[in-house]
Amino acid sequence: MLVALAALLAAPVAHAGSISTAGVVGGIDGSAAVGNVAAVHWNPAAIATVPGVRTMVDGTAMFVRVDATATRNDGIDPSTGAPYAPASARVTVPNAFIGATWQVLPDRLTVGLGVTDAFVGGADYAASEAPDGGDPEPPFTGHQRYHAVQTSIITAQIRPAVGVTVTDGLHLGGSLGIQYNMLNALTSSDILGTEGLDPAEVAAGTNENPYAFDSVLEGEARGWSLGWSAGVFFDKYEKAQVGFSLDHAAPFTATGTGTVTVPAALSTSGERLPVDARVSFDQTMPDIARLFVHSQLSKQLSVGAGIEYQMWNFCCGDADGDLTIGVTNAAGDAIGPADGVSTTISATQYNPRRLWNSSNFHALAGYKPAEKWWTGIRLAYNQNAVPDYAVSPANLDFESWGGVVGARYRMGKDNKVVLGLNYTKYFLTTREITTSAWNRQDGDSRYSPALPYKTSANGTYSGAVDGVNLRLAVNFK
């Protein structure tokens, strides 16, 4: 019933169960093996090496495009018998990190605080529903109408952290992730599982009102959740710094209000009927393990490499990982005859996710051509986490290649102010899906125990990602 394609920015490359979007938290050299303010996000143990008082503001705007040329029902519009027109989503994804660290006890104890949007995303297929540029109006007719028309997902995470130097070259750290979740949605729902068709018309062989049973959900929800992170950082040798961290992600959970508009065919009044509703959304997020190595080869040149392992299958490989959607009337009861609706709408619905574990691989390099200048490059390869049989506009991910290039300039007294500018480009591998679980029900263990056959979709999916990043950092002492 819901969730738009989302961008998961809990990693340096937004990834998995969504679209591979590149938002590098803390810049080109952000990793679990680099001690700077961004280590509050990457590896709290590494902040133990950051002297004095440091601050950082790092913001990225990612521009994401997704195009789908065919999907469910074999790509055929039931109203015309012709292929659906292509659908497009255009999303601007913000990713920001604001943080500070303070070494309370020299060479022993550092505390830090970071604010970031750990999980950000959404989709806007409105242009496909309203090609004239106006607001889309139901009944929606695009092939994405049962997935998402417009959805916005934003989280804001406050992360207090502490790093401790145990002995020379060995540091431990931990942090909490206090997360505020926000979701706004406009989506259609095939609540009877008939692809919107009137069962009587299907039985009679007619097709006069193919969207007669589509219902529309509009809602917004808010909520709090809690996660944590722990890490270890070894930096005894400049040419062999190693960092490892484990991030236990906060789940996405939110409750709020909305409207379920049922069609005339399901209204006892014979007219479209809006029903005030309570809505809730709950989605488990994966643990993420990070292992990075960094080496300062010379005063001018540094290199690094690492892997992020996103454990999606452990949390979200079966029905336990489905997005759970609660929809009731204002009194908390299932929407039904008491609300003027001729059938009872289940109070709990699901959007199957069915995700694989996946990895992001990174190679980093930095060069200092002059005293005030630093340039860098980051290359990455990202696996997709969504198996072919579970792909849909609401559950989409891409294998991707790309990276970030940029430069920083130090200025002010004692070079304490740092300005940075980066450009990001990722190339997404087009997905040709012919083996989705669409309309497959029994006889295949891939679709058990709860089948994603009504939310997957054959088709061609392509996309593009570009981004611009700005940084301002100040080292107070």
The string of DSSP letters for 214-237 reads EEEEEEEEEEEEEEEEEEEEE-SS
Q: Examine residue 232 and state whether it is found in any structural domain, yes or no.
A: yes
- As a whole number of angstroms, the distance between CA 381 and CA 20 comes to 10
Q: Examine residue 134 and state whether it is found in any structural domain, yes or no.
A: yes
Q: Let me know if 441 is exposed, middle or buried by CB neighbors in 10 A (0-12, 13-18, 19+).
A: exposed
Residue 443 is which amino acid?
Answer: G
Sign of the Cα pseudo-torsion (329, 335, 336, 341, in order): positive
Q: Examine residue 281 and state whether it is found in any structural domain, yes or no.
A: yes
Tell me if residue 74 falls in helix, strand or coil: helix
Q: Let me know if 49 is exposed, middle or buried by CB neighbors in 10 A (0-12, 13-18, 19+).
A: buried
CB 43 within 8 A of CB 50: no
Count of C-beta atoms within a 10 Å radius of residue 380: 24
Assign 3-class secondary structure to 267-293: ECCCCCEEEEEEEEEEECCCCEEEEEE
Q: What pLDDT was estimated at residue 395? A: 78
- As a whole number of angstroms, the distance between CA 1 and CA 59 comes to 32
Q: Examine residue 410 and state whether it is found in any structural domain, yes or no.
A: yes
- As a whole number of angstroms, the distance between CA 440 and CA 449 comes to 13
pLDDT per residue rounded down to tens, the chain (477 residues): 222 223 222 222 333 333 334 456 777 888 999 999 999 999 999 999 999 999 999 988 888 888 888 666 666 666 666 777 788 887 788 888 999 999 999 999 999 999 998 777 777 777 777 766 677 777 777 766 666 788 888 889 999 999 999 999 999 999 999 999 999 988 887 666 666 666 676 667 666 666 777 888 899 999 999 999 999 999 999 889 999 999 998 999 999 999 999 888 889 998 989 999 999 999 888 899 999 999 999 999 999 999 999 888 888 777 777 778 899 999 999 999 999 998 888 888 777 777 888 888 999 999 999 999 999 999 999 888 888 888 877 778 888 888 899 999 999 878 899 999 999 898 999 999 888 876 665 555 444 444 555 667 788 889 888 889 899 999 887
Q: How many domains does the chain have?
A: 1
- As a whole number of angstroms, the distance between CA 367 and CA 386 comes to 37
Q: Examine residue 226 and state whether it is found in any structural domain, yes or no.
A: yes
Both tokens of 258, joined, read 């909305």
Q: What pLDDT was estimated at residue 202? A: 64
Both tokens of 286, joined, read 């994966």
Count of C-beta atoms within a 10 Å radius of residue 361: 14
CB 229 within 8 A of CB 174: yes
- As a whole number of angstroms, the distance between CA 331 and CA 121 comes to 31
Q: Examine residue 1 and state whether it is found in any structural domain, yes or no.
A: no
- As a whole number of angstroms, the distance between CA 223 and CA 256 comes to 9
Return phi, psi of residue 49, to 5°: -95, 0
CB 459 within 8 A of CB 439: no
Question: Structural domain of residue 254, as residue ranges?
Answer: 6-475
- As a whole number of angstroms, the distance between CA 114 and CA 160 comes to 6
Count of C-beta atoms within a 10 Å radius of residue 300: 12
Picking from 353, 342, 361, the residue whose alpha carbon sits closest to that of residue 292 is 361
Both tokens of 89, joined, read 């989503």
Tell me if residue 83 falls in helix, strand or coil: strand
Omega before 369 within 30 of 0, i.e. cis: no
Residue 329: which H helix or E strand, with range? Answer: strand 323-329
Q: What pLDDT was estimated at residue 133? A: 62
Q: What is the CATH number of the domain that holds 306?
A: 2.40.160.60
Beta carbons within 8 Å of 313's beta carbon, 6+ residues apart? 355, 356, 357
Q: Name beta bridge partners: 1.
A: none
Q: What pLDDT was estimated at residue 137? A: 76
